[in-house]
């Protein structure tokens, strides 16, 4: 009987792992919404990568002033047709901020694009001007699990696309900053497997404890008979 109990514990652990794998695969399969640029979005987009992020800022005028937490690289100004527009820029570093003043060669309605170096799986964005914000996580990453990482405040729209989860805040007028902690989409599966193994191991230990108690009782009964 004891051997059967041990075998049942091991089977229980294996079943837990298989159930968690199946449910995780189903959840990942649901995240197939296409990733693409939204022509109706009029806010700033932050596309996160492993070691940098790309910022896409809409512009409509002849100049722009930027106050950034990091130094901008590969800055480019594009008009509505996607053509490059020349501009003059001045830069200063003041109290931890990178400040840019840009003057365009002509009136431009389009986008300003630049890159900023970054590290880690946490992104904190101070809201300096109330405007719509969109954050696109690196491909293969997501957020929303309280045990692994969530976005604060909760986004108005969340799209779990295969090419990168998309988080959108349409109104940031009452938000001092946005914080996004994200993780690999395989992390919940690994966590579930670990929990299943621990549950199975706990069951096996419980069975072994029961077996030890039973053997001790049997030994005591033998001694009492003698």
β-pair partners for 133: 44, 169
Q: Are 55 and 107 within one domain?
A: yes
3-state helix, strand, coil in the chain (%, to 5): 30, 40, 30
Q: Are 218 and 124 within one domain?
A: no
Domain count, the chain: 2
Domain around 114: 34-184
Whole-model pTM: value is 0.70
Q: Are 178 and 192 within one domain?
A: no
Q: Are 147 and 208 within one domain?
A: no
What is the CATH number for 71?
Answer: 2.60.40
Predicted local confidence at residue 24, as pLDDT: 43
Predicted local confidence at residue 144, as pLDDT: 87
For residue 112, the Cα-to-chain-centroid distance in whole angstroms is 25
Residue 168 near residue 133, CB atoms below 8 Å: yes
Q: Assign residue 5 a region: left if phi > 0, alpha if psi is -120 to 50, beta otherwise?
A: alpha
Count of CB atoms within 10 A of residue 15's CB?
12
Q: Are 180 and 198 within one domain?
A: no
Q: Which two three-digit tokens encode residue 166?
A: 């998309």
Q: Are 51 and 113 within one domain?
A: yes
From first to last of its 226 residues, what are the pLDDT tens digits of the chain? 544 444 544 454 454 445 444 444 333 433 333 344 566 788 999 999 989 999 999 999 999 999 998 999 999 999 999 999 999 999 999 989 999 999 999 999 999 999 999 989 999 999 988 999 999 999 889 998 888 889 999 999 999 877 789 999 999 999 999 999 998 886 455 556 666 666 667 777 777 777 788 777 777 777 767 6
Q: Are 112 and 220 within one domain?
A: no
Closest CA relative to residue 188, chosen from 157, 160, 166, 163:
160
Q: Are 209 and 126 within one domain?
A: no
Q: Are 49 and 94 within one domain?
A: yes
């Amino acid at each position: 009987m004891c051997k059967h109990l041990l075998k049942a514990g091991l089977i229980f652990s294996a079943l837990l792992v298989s159930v968690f794998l199946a449910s995780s695969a189903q959840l990942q399969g649901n995240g197939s919404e296409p990733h693409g640029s939204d022509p109706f979005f009029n806010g700033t987009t932050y596309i996160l990568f492993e070691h940098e992020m790309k910022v896409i800022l809409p512009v409509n005028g002849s100049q722009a002033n930027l106050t950034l937490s990091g130094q901008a690289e590969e800055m480019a100004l594009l008009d509505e047709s996607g053509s490059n527009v020349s501009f003059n820029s001045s830069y200063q570093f003041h109290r931890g901020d990178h400040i840019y003043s840009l003057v365009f060669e002509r009136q431009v309605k389009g986008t300003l694009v630049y890159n900023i170096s970054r590290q880690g799986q946490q992104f904190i964005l101070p809201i300096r001007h109330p405007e719509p914000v969109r954050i696109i996580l690196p491909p293969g990453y997501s957020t929303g699990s309280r045990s692994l990482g969530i976005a604060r405040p909760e986004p108005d729209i969340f799209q779990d696309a295969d090419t990168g989860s998309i988080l959108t805040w349409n109104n940031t007028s009452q938000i001092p900053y946005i914080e996004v902690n994200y993780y690999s989409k395989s992390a919940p599966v690994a966590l579930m497997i670990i929990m299943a193994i621990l549950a199975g191991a706990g069951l096996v230990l419980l069975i072994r404890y029961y077996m030890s108690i039973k053997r001790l009782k049997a030994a005591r009964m033998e001694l009492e008979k003698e």
